[in-house]
Amino acid sequence: MHYDVFNGDADGIIALLQIRLAQGQTEQAPCQLITGVKRDINLLQQVDSTTATSVTVLDISLEKNSKALQQLLAAQVPVFYVDHHRTGDIPQSALLTSILDTDANTCTSLLINDYLKGAHVNWAITAAYGDNMHASANVLAKQVGLSELQQAQLNELGTYINYNGYGQELSDLHFHPAELFTLLTHYPDPFVLIAEENSIFSQLKTAYLADMEQAQAAKVLTDSNLVKTIILDDAPWARRVSGVFGNALANEAPGKAHIVITLNQAKAITGTDTRTENEQSYTVSLRAPLNNKQGAGDICAQFPTGGGRAAAAGVNALPKSRLDKFIKQVASYYQH
């Protein structure tokens, strides 16, 4: 059994999409899809090494999946690994084929686009827009001759696919990422999807605009020339929009860092809400200034459950009592 393991955001989904479109439907062997909400990145441990004949891993940190990767390699399972997040120590094995690049201006789908020599470049551009790499997306779009209107359309599509990946749990999402990937395999040309009535594109657009409208009224906790902090409501719409709202804020004010936080839900085994002041924590999305795309991953990695890449990172469960410290560390980092 082949396993495809990929992040549930635009970059992870579209990286795999490019590979499968390039292979062609007739050449695809049966495979198992493993994915989840965007912040669920400890995915490789879900692969069964006793049944796996090969594994493709896309857009999840090798550093966070190192142990599971080493176990697969020890079980003699070939692994193809492509990513742009923190790597940690990279295992040395003839069974591991990797394309790893942590440059702040690239993403997994752009790495796959290079690997496939531009076979599905319009999808790669879509993913780069979705991952808030507008400059890189614009350069590639101009290289292949896309009009400004076409660039704007792919920007929208990438943003909506990325938006769908955010949530504390799968029930927060409009589409399960594996379902969304499967639906997208029917569209080798993203412009066909965009033009289709009542398509995934139009469904996600309607939902995105409704959620973003609510986000615009969110409370501002701090705002300086270095960092702005926004707190969103404790609601599914807020968890869905947290990442893309952070991207939007970063594009509006490229000279400062942006922090978007939402309150985590703490549930007992019985399912009843047992939140107390001690249990409360925040999900944190951090965006580095677009004019200085570095440091976000390193800042978040200093906190348990934190990580990411240079331009965009987060903390899955930041204790409420440590929020002030987090904001101060962000401000201190970008002060220099």
Structure tokens at 24: 């062609």
Q: State whether residue 197 is helix, strand or coil.
A: coil
pTM (two decimals): 0.86
The one-letter code for the residue type at 258 is H
Residue 326 near residue 301 (C-beta atoms within 8 A): no
pLDDT of residue 26: 43
Positions in the chain short of pLDDT 50: 26, 267-278
Residue 31 near residue 1 (C-beta atoms within 8 A): yes
pLDDT tens, position by position, 173-207: 999 999 999 999 999 999 999 999 999 999 999 99
Question: Cα–Cα distances in Å, from 176 out to 9, 196, 230?
Answer: 11, 21, 27
56 HSE (CA, 13 A, CB side)? 20
pLDDT of residue 24: 82
Cα gap 16→81, rounded to integer Å: 11
| DSSP state for residue 279 in the 8-state scheme | T
Determine phi and psi for 51, rounding to 5 degrees. -110, -15
pLDDT of residue 78: 98
Helix (H) or strand (E) holding 252: helix 236-252
pLDDT of residue 29: 63
Beta-carbon count within 10 A of 122 CB? 21
Closest by Cα among 239, 237, 21, 41 to 127: 21
pLDDT of residue 125: 98
Q: State whether residue 34 is helix, strand or coil.
A: strand
CATH, range 2-206: 3.90.1640
Structure tokens at 301: 């990695």
Structure tokens at 291: 């004019």
pLDDT of residue 280: 87
pLDDT of residue 25: 55
Residue 82 near residue 111 (C-beta atoms within 8 A): yes
pLDDT of residue 273: 43
Where in the chain is CATH 3.90.1640?
2-206
Where in the chain is CATH 3.10.310.30?
216-334
Residue 306 near residue 315 (C-beta atoms within 8 A): yes
DSSP bridge partners of 4: 33, 56
Q: State whether residue 273 is helix, strand or coil.
A: strand
Residue 324 near residue 215 (C-beta atoms within 8 A): no
216-334: CATH topology: Diaminopimelate Epimerase; Chain A, domain 1 (3.10.310)
